Structure 1
Amino acid sequence: CWEPGDALTCSDKQYIYKARCCNRCQPGEKLVSECNTTEDSVCARCESGHYQPSWTKEKHCAPHDICEGNAGLVEKMQGNATHNTVCQCRAGTHCSDISCQTCVENQPCQLGSGFVAAKAMDRMSSPCEPCAEGTFSNVSSKTEPCHPWTSCEEKGLVVKVKGTNSSDVICESNRRSSLSVLIPITAAVVTCLVGVCIYCLVHTDSRRRVPKEVSLPRAPPAVDTQQPMEQDENVLPVQETLLRGQPVAQEDGKESRISEQEVL
């Protein structure tokens, strides 16, 4: 028995009423009357459109929220005796404030950012979020989320161009990738070989063109077989004149005169 001066302690599912512990009503119910010396607390189920989420000593249940269509709200989850109705903004809109009594139109998420439905549901004012690593958004949209990069491996391909937050991965076949590596290497090798060949040809040709000293046989000195005739400066040259068919010597410079008798 409880004595005056003793501290009365009740459980969390009870409450103190007139110096005694009375039971609380369970979730989904409301209190009709408190306990007394002869009977326990009397509870009743919440009426339609109302709810009570916890153990209570309240005599009234709370009314469900109404999702006003004119305010841009739609019903996400219907209420019952233990839970309130959950409202959310229509697609393309978000809550105007923390109470979310009205909705406003979303601003388009820019390239590299995507719409996050959870943010709109959580009554956040900015439902856009930058795309994380491995995702992208290449459109400006009020409802489009970030999409994951294409998996080249799942398609049996290899990555040609890595994706960004605003562009998808570009894939290519293994064969094409191998060719893209082999072609530059082959070209480099061929270029080196051509260079070596040209170098060898140039040096070989330059060696062939170096002039060599040729020993030619020397011609013997010309022998003048004709002895120069010493002429006396005072000796005049002699000319021959025919006389009666016979040559006649005549000194050069003298007139050739033949007597008439000789002519006759």
Structure 2
Amino acid sequence: FFKITFVLLDVNNCNDQAVLIVEKTPFPMDEQDWNTIVSQCSLETLSMNDIYSNHILFPPEKFSGIKTTLINPCTEKHIAKYRDQKRYVIYETPDDYKTITLPYLEEQQFTMKWIFNMLEHKAEMDRIIFEDADPENGFILAPDLKWDGKNLANLYVLAIIRRKGIKSIRDLTSNDLPLLENISKKSYIAIKEKYGIDKHQIRAYFHYQPTFYHLHVHFIHVSYDAPASSAHLLEDVINNIKLVPDYYQRSTLTFTMKENNSLLKSYRDTYQW
């Protein structure tokens, strides 16, 4: 049983498909909400033994909502991303990046339209919680679609840079320290002002490989149980670059890939495994 599941849908009257992401919403934190749930719920008893009993609780309709995200129409890349598959560990050397990963990224067509729509105020303007308009070191800060925007213990926001051309941490050098430090400083302040959450309760990190190849930083509440096997903490990245200006061009980076990912196929073809 999973908290989140992914459903592939056929769209009526056309050949398109859609991906429906369905996620259980967090439990309420307010005492009055729990008074309402306990007083108005229905129970199905499963077992009883002495002082212990097991039940299925059916809350009032107000508290039984399910958070959903719809990708319509979806592409084969979306389907592959959300399909349950075996995973494999990749140890990407600098040469691997240059000869396998980078050619793959340059060959593939990854849509960035939704990102540029936000940056250019063509969509989702009301979701932006902070904005730095500087073309070189600026960024926007907005809630991730994974978050319902209400339960602060599950806070999840993204900082998306304005500058084009930085795909991932692999591209970062000492020239980008002003950008990274600007994101770090202003994002923590904005989150504190908007949500009242202190910097020391926030985890900020990059994914590698990222979900999309336009540099962005994840900011989540430390209580949020987010998958982080591919995470590189923002402050660690800044520190690494201060120590070695081209750290991310010289390092071997480890990440996991799903079985049907075409980048994984490139690695398997190269190393014959």
Q: TM-score range by the shorter chain?
A: under 0.3
Which one has more relative contact order, counting CA pairs under 8 Å at least 6 apart? 2
Structure with bigger gyration radius: 1
**TM-score normalized by structure 2?**
0.21
**TM-score normalized by structure 1?**
0.21
